[in-house]
Amino acid sequence: MTWDEVLSVVQDETATVLPGVTARQVTPDVTLSELGANSLDRMDIVVGSQDVLGVSVPAAAFADVGNVRQLVDVLHGHCGTT
């Protein structure tokens, strides 16, 4: 799983959870809050992305995540190689 493939998963999950947001708007430098996500929406996106990726990441690993790039970094770090 490449970093860009993980980004693509996060983009799709975000567009699914947030009405009116398209995958293209979910760029690496934007934050989920800026896209209109509240804390429950962010949980849905993070857990939904893990479900698609087939990984289980401890919640504490996301403590320092700010933008989409950092979220993808954490998820990608738990996806094994490449």
Partner 1 sequence: MTAVDAVITAMAVRTSVGDTIEELAAALRDGRGGIRAASLPDAARVSAAAYLPGPADEPELVLSGRSTRPTRTAVRVAREAATAAGLGPGALARTAIVIGGNNLALDYQAQVAVRMSCGDGRVRPSHALAHLDVDAVGAVSEATGATAEGCLIGGASASGTLALIHACRLLALDAADHCLVVGALAELSVAEYRALADSGALAAASDEPPGDVCRPFDSGRRGFVHGHGTAAVVLERAGTARARGARPLAAITGLAQRLDGKRGTRPSADGQAATIAAALESAGLLPGDVDYVNAHATGSQLGDATEAESLARVFGAGPLVNATKELTGHCLSGSGVIEAVATVIQLRDGFCHPNPNLRSPADPRVSYVGRKAVDAPLRVALSTSFAFSGINSAIIVTRSVQDD
State yes or no: residue 40 binds partner 1 (CB under 8 A). yes
| Residue 26 touches partner 1, criterion: CB under 8 A | no
- Regarding 44 and contact with partner 1 (CB under 8 A), the answer is yes
Cβ proximity to partner 1: between 1 and 43 the closer is 43
- Contacts of residues 17-23 at CB distance under 8 Å and 24 or more positions apart, as own/partner, are 17/41, 17/44, 17/45, 17/48, 18/45
Q: Per CB under 8 A, which region of 1-9, 18-26, 61-69, 70-78 contacts partner 1?
A: 18-26
